[in-house]
A and B are shown apart, each in its own frame.
Chain A
Amino acid sequence: MRKMLTIISNVLRGSASRNGAELVSEGARVVVSARTYADFTPQATFDIKKCDLHKLEEGPPLQAVLTREEGLQYYRTMQTIRRMELKADQLYKQKIIRGFCHLYDGQEACAVGIETGINLSDHLITAYRAHGYTLTRGGTVREIMAELTGRRGGIAKGKGGSMHMYTKHFYGGNGIVGAQVPLGAGVALACKYLGNNEICVCLYGDGAANQGQIFETYNMASLWKLPCIFICENNKYGMGTSVERAAASTDYYKRGDFIPGLRLDGMDVLCVREATKFAAEHCRSGKGPILMELQTYRYHGHSMSDPGVSYRTREEIQEVRSKSDPISMLKDRMLSNNMASVEELKEIDVEVRKEIEDAAQFATTDPEPPLDDLCNHIFYNDPPMEVRGTNPWTKLKSVS
């Protein structure tokens, strides 16, 4: 059957060189869609790496079931994050994005895997490497990019920038290293208080993991059995400082001491998903907090002002790209198990590219916020008030 289809598509392609391109794409599309339902494996089971466990008798399952639909969705989302971040890199170099810009490419499996292990009704908070999470938590590429370029169509109307993006049940985007961890535990406290069976995922990096307020939070979360999943995204470098130079113990999954922990491969979206499901179940059953360490990697430097090669080698970066790229890993799994075709994935790439281009177009043409928005949003639910301008004669207006 397959051989016959290949022959047919070759014939069609051949005729197109005489009749024009449209015929080929029509023909090729017909050929591809004829394969969609008949030929692909609807789901497959994959072996995933065992997690290192701390104060846990058993961990997440060693196998993960992936359906075709899930695979395509994870692929699309990870690719969207990847291309969005690369576009942000481009715009930053063109000076259309200013200030801080901390890119997430390389770490896509974390954001995507975590979201598939929880519900949109759960809560999540992270630090400043937040564009990926803003997307998985319901933001659109358009409003994320327009926020980076500081336009009125940005997710925070241009007033927050890269580090301060919010959506429903997503509390940013936080600029002060470590401060988001107590905040996340507070969100978890609210979940427990309101009895809504929701949990809070609270992320921080290997650099933040040494912050005192995180240990204060471990203590209270544990004492009060808050439904909080602490997740350390260990990308091996806190800015330019490698983990060995910053932490007396780099076993971040054990640093919660009395809090059970897991360490897992953060480049494998299925590993991340299964571990998150396991952790969410732990929290929802009232056992209190749990800690996950995701071993991951960022291709970019710490931020756009860091080339990222003074403290690590280009060889190291290249090795991760070729051997552990999260998107390639998923793609290989799906192709080798006949869960998708090369063309199909290419088509997704094309669609993603278009979405990013459209978003970038919007982000570069949308106007900046109006000046009379300058003083708004100081207080919520308050009558309009006056705000002093730069001099005593300038009185500006502020509304809620």
Chain B
Amino acid sequence: YSSSDISDHISVTVRDALNQALDEELERDERVFLLGEEVAQYDGAYKVSRGLWKKYGDKRIIDTPITEMGFAGIAVGAAMAGLRPICEFMTFNFSMQAIDQVINSAAKTYYMSAGLQPVPIVFRGPNGASAGVAAQHSQCFAAWYGHCPGLKVVSPWSAEDAKGLLKSAIRDDNPVVFLENELMYGVPFEMSEEAQSKDFLLPIGKAKIERQGNHVTLVSHSRMVSLCLDAAAVLAKEGIECEVINMRTIRPLDAEAIETSVMKTNHLITVEGGWPQFGVGAEILARIMEGPAFNFLDAPAVRVTGVDIPMPYAKILEDNSIPQIKDIIFSVKKTLNV
């Protein structure tokens, strides 16, 4: 964090941070434009693009029909021809209809053309569980997109993350999948003066240590970072100091940051909202096994994940389908054998 006076800090929600990022990048580069369902006249299904259509008009903010495969393909084609589109999926669940365009048309093209054809595009929208939206609207796509070479996959947590990473994603000359979180949109964060600037960028591919600690490393992304910090606060009262790493980027994964931490704490727990099998945590654990940090583990590294089921509707069922703070605390104590 910057060491400037706290009075410079203002409170900004994740939604407003995203809005600022979009506004600043639209202003900075004429080739940037936003398309998706309800992004223009409705001000965005989740109000992330509020005010932008009024400011920039029909040419830069385009409402599309409900045809994901078509408009995602159109966005990729526009990127190939020299524009810098931001393609919004109302939620990433709907990106499944367009996933061929994301992977086969966007991600692989620079490689297949041996460097002749770059694709500077951002696919963004809310990812993962929401509240009460049930099975078809709650899937986390971090692992699926994180699997594919040619993509960068970003998963911000805080307002600062959202702003700095979205700006970097838009300026990146490659396809970036930008996974937001609906439940985080309304959450306010302190934003430093530095973060408020129009040139504030965060590097894609670098994790952040949100909380220092010596006893166990908690690695997480998106909303689960909040839960890790809450669990860490509870555990601190019992003398257990957790180091909480906010991944910020899924691909490329900042393995070095995780390894450095594990070599200090000797214990690792990954925390994610997505399903366990072949997931983000699975990848992190595999990397730790294969890397220099393995010899520093005093206990097997474990994953805290969503339950391996489609998301149910009833509140009691839904609450028990995703990690809760008590699950993280329980896992820490098991790992530390306390």
Are B173 and A380 within 8 A (Cβ)? Answer: yes
The interface stretch among B47-55, B103-111, B193-201, B268-276 is B103-111
A382 contact set on B, CB distance < 8 A: 173-174
Beyond the given A167-B116, A187-B80, please list 14 additional residue pairs across the A-B interface where CB-CB is below 8 A. Answer: A164-B113, A182-B70, A186-B74, A186-B76, A186-B81, A189-B78, A219-B70, A220-B65, A220-B67, A220-B74, A224-B62, A377-B115, A378-B150, A392-B290
A216 touches which one: B67, B82, B110, B112 (CB < 8 A)?
B67
Q: Which interface residue of B69, B75, B77, B78 has the most chain A CB atoms within 10 A? A: B77
Q: How far apart sit A188 and B23, CA to CA, in the bound complex (Å)?
A: 25
Distance of A387 Cα from B83 Cα, bound (Å): 29
A258-290 vs B, Cβ < 8 Å mask (1 yes, 0 no): 000000000000000000000000000000000
Min distance, Cβ A388 to any Cβ of chain B, angstroms: 9
- Would you give the shortest CB distance from A390 to chain B, in whole angstroms? 12
What residues of B have a CB within 8 angstroms of the CB of A379 in the complex?
110, 150, 152, 173-174
Write the chain A residue with the least CB distance to B77: A186
A179 to B98, CA, bound (A): 10
A248 at the interface (CB under 8 A from B): no
Report whether A194 and B65 are in contact in the complex, using a CB–CB cutoff of 8 Å: no
Could you say which of B80, B104, B114, B174 contacts A171, with CB atoms under 8 Å apart?
Answer: B80
Most B Cβ at <10 Å: residue of A172, A223, A376: A172
10 contacts between A and B (CB under 8 A): A157-B114, A186-B80, A190-B81, A194-B83, A216-B71, A219-B65, A220-B65, A378-B110, A381-B118, A392-B290
Number of interface residues of A (CB under 8 A): 49
Bound Cα distance A103, B115 (Å): 25
Contact indicator per residue, chain B 8-37, by CB within 8 Å of chain A (1) or not (0)? 000000000000000000000000010000
Q: Count A-B pairs with CB separation below 8 Å.
A: 150
Instruction: Please pick, from B65, B70, B81, B101, the residue contacting A191 in the complex, using a CB distance under 8 A.
Output: B81
Asked if A132 is an interface residue, CB under 8 A from chain B, the answer is no
Cβ of B237 under 8 Å from chain A = no
Contact present for B78 and A193 (CB under 8 Å): yes
A206→B182 CA distance, assembly (Å): 42
A156 touches which of B74, B80, B112, B174 (Cβ 8 Å): B112
Say yes or no: is A213 at the interface (Cβ < 8 Å to chain B): yes
- List, in ascending order, chain B residues with CB within 8 A of A217's CB: 70, 73-74
Q: How far is the CA of A377 from the CA of B112 in the complex (A)?
A: 8
Verify if A174 is at the interface (C-beta below 8 Å from B).
yes
Q: Is A184 an interface residue (CB 8 A)?
A: yes
A189 to B84 Cα, complex, angstroms: 12
Judge whether B214 is part of the interface by a CB distance below 8 angstroms: no
In the complex, residue of chain B having the shortest beta-carbon distance to the beta carbon of A379: B174
Q: Look across to chain B and name the residue whose beta carbon is closest to the beta carbon of A399.
A: B115
For residue B72, CB closer than 8 A to chain A, the reply is yes
B226 within 8 A of A: no
Task: List residues of chain B with CB within 8 A of the CB of A176.
Answer: 100, 104-105
Interface check A159, CB cutoff 8 A: yes
1/0 contact string of B111-155 vs chain A (CB within 8 Å): 111111110100000000000000000000000000001101000
Given contacts A183-B105, A186-B78, contact A166 B65 (CB under 8 A): no
Q: Is residue B315 contacting chain A, with contact meaning CB distance below 8 A? A: no
Inter-chain CA distance A87–B144, complex, in Å, is 41
A392 / chain B contacts, CB cutoff of 8 Å: 290-291
